[in-house]
Structure 1
């Protein structure tokens, strides 16, 4: 048996067995990778090189942005900005059918972008807007489905930690370019769901009689403006070259602290240690995963696993569109049982060379992959956003799945558009000079 296929089989078998046994995914990655290299290297060199790869994998300056964006997101989550963004979104959804559900979508897009977390968006928005929808006669399962289906949009609309992870594992792709590339796909995801909401709400007669006077609108906008300015300051500073993504993350922390402690006064100084501890814990998990995944990347490159898989896939078909469809299907399946960060770390080195071989831009591939993995966060059996959305919506998964199917259909259409129309991802970065 070819060494590439033997190593790949060892990784797959040991990884699956350890995950089924309940082993942490980082440990599973490390053990399966070391075992896969043993047919080629003796034990001591394999272990020493593996340890070196962990440290070299996390010794990347841009990774410093991750803990700061996590901390900024946690501060903003605790800072009580959800209701301000919901009120802000209501201004734009007006009196169209299903206005409250449309408000949920817009608020999820804004809050997800600020917090960088789909689960945080689903939790915050569902807990606040869900009871209001129920009071106005909205079906509870419909409301939960809307919240779940649109919560991941904030993972595509920057800043996004998974984009930083992809930038690192793909060999230094521009973070600013990835940030810009995520805007249109993320917005299209939200708009597609809003079309479904409009059709459903029209049939069910979900309307709103609420009107906002000019004075009331002005007050709502002024209250939400400081939250929205964070996105403008951080992303604008990165794109404008004022600071790097890492420095932008620090700016986000400082800004969110000032906003929460001084402006809104929604956080007490005594609560900061817990926020720091929670952020440190989350950072430790992600950074350790990135470090361990470097072992797997090295093993796959050393044994030629990506080249072997590429040869097989290109042998199945030389048609670019067929190959991209196969990759999409695989990523959709992977996303149903694996979290975004480990999936990104494992499958980027495998699929990126294949996509590059058929002429796909690295930034375009990154957005396609992240889009696929975002869908995985709202699908069983491991969809964390799905479970959070069901819990805050006070319903059951089996009751939410049926209304979710309509949103899945709309989201899959957008995924195909993102996959086969490169301009959706590349037009904005190209406009700013990141893509030539």
Structure 2
């Protein structure tokens, strides 16, 4: 949510500076109508999060449920998708999946190379040897995860580095949930960061532009995202208040 808020603020500032024209003003009645029409789409979030939290289905199963629910919405409720459109959509999906799978294969090869050369254990010793200060170690780990995320997919990175970094965080008194959020956020940034950046390639494919063309316009957004990263890293209450409120920790 904070990621989205940060990007929205950047969008507002950029639009103001570049004097983007207002094509139409949203009236109260129109806003209410749009809000009501959006309820079925927003229910998807409730279904996915609620299903995972309640143990009804796994995160992987949730993705399949999301696809089925979205198809029902677009074909039955909103009627913006027709059966004849499905072949082209499936073809685009296959192309995007091929790009992502290639990136995953490259990332997995890198993770295998790191494992057999005992690099993760050496990194753990190096991090602990830098400083005993909690704030410094958090900064070092944040920078480290940003670099890893730029070259490795989230899945392999979590499997390799969680067992290494979690004990370090425990020694520093960092809550495991807080560390998990920090790690996922850092690695998620890697999905929009070259050279791997699977999210960049997917976005460029959807927008039918080259990856090189989207990097420069994204720079202000990177700044906002990093700013939010520092907030959630050094102010644990931001990320922990909701789990505590829901009673899951």
**Fold equivalence (TM over 0.5):** yes
The answer to whether the Cα contact below 8 Å between 1:306 and 1:353 also exists between their aligned partners in 2 is no
For each residue in 1:179-219, what CA deviation from the matched residue of structure 2 results, as whole angstroms up to 9, or x when unmatched? Answer: xxxxxxxx211222222222222222124151234554444
Structure 2 residue runs without a partner (length 5+): none
Structure 1 residue runs without a partner (length 5+): 1-186
Map of 2:56 onto structure 1: 243
Higher-Rg member (1/2): 1
Structure 1 counterpart SS, 2:141? helix
- Is structure 2 residue 185 aligned with structure 1 residue 371? yes
- Is structure 2 residue 166 aligned with structure 1 residue 352? yes
Distance 1:429 1:415 in 2: 18
- Is structure 2 residue 83 aligned with structure 1 residue 268? yes
Distance 2:14 2:85 in 1: 46
Q: CA deviation at 1:379?
A: 1.6
Distance 2:203 2:66 in 1: 27
Structure 1 counterpart SS, 2:148? helix
Alignment of 1:28-427 (within 5 A): 187-239=1-53, 241=54, 243-245=56-58, 249=62, 252=66, 255-265=69-79, 266=81, 268=83, 271=86, 309-393=123-207, 395-427=209-241
Distance 1:262 1:405 in 2: 39
Instruction: Point out the more displaced range, 303-312 or 349-358.
Output: 303-312
Distance 1:335 1:211 in 2: 40
Structure 2 counterpart SS, 1:413? helix
Distance 2:74 2:168 in 1: 46
Q: CA deviation at 1:319?
A: 1.0
Structure 2 counterpart SS, 1:318? coil
Q: CA RMSD in A?
A: 3.7
Specify whether residues 432 and 203 from structure 1 end up closer, same or farther in structure 2 by C-alpha distance, changes over 3 A only: same
Specify whether residues 254 and 368 from structure 1 end up closer, same or farther in structure 2 by C-alpha distance, changes over 3 A only: same
The answer to whether the Cα contact below 8 Å between 1:310 and 1:353 also exists between their aligned partners in 2 is no
For each residue in 1:293-334, what CA deviation from the matched residue of structure 2 results, as whole angstroms up to 9, or x when unmatched? Answer: 9x97xx89xx99866643432222111111111111111111
* Count of residues in Structure 1 that have an aligned counterpart in Structure 2: 233
Q: TM-score, normalised by structure 1?
A: 0.45
- Is structure 2 residue 248 aligned with structure 1 residue 434? yes
Specify whether residues 407 and 305 from structure 1 end up closer, same or farther in structure 2 by C-alpha distance, changes over 3 A only: closer
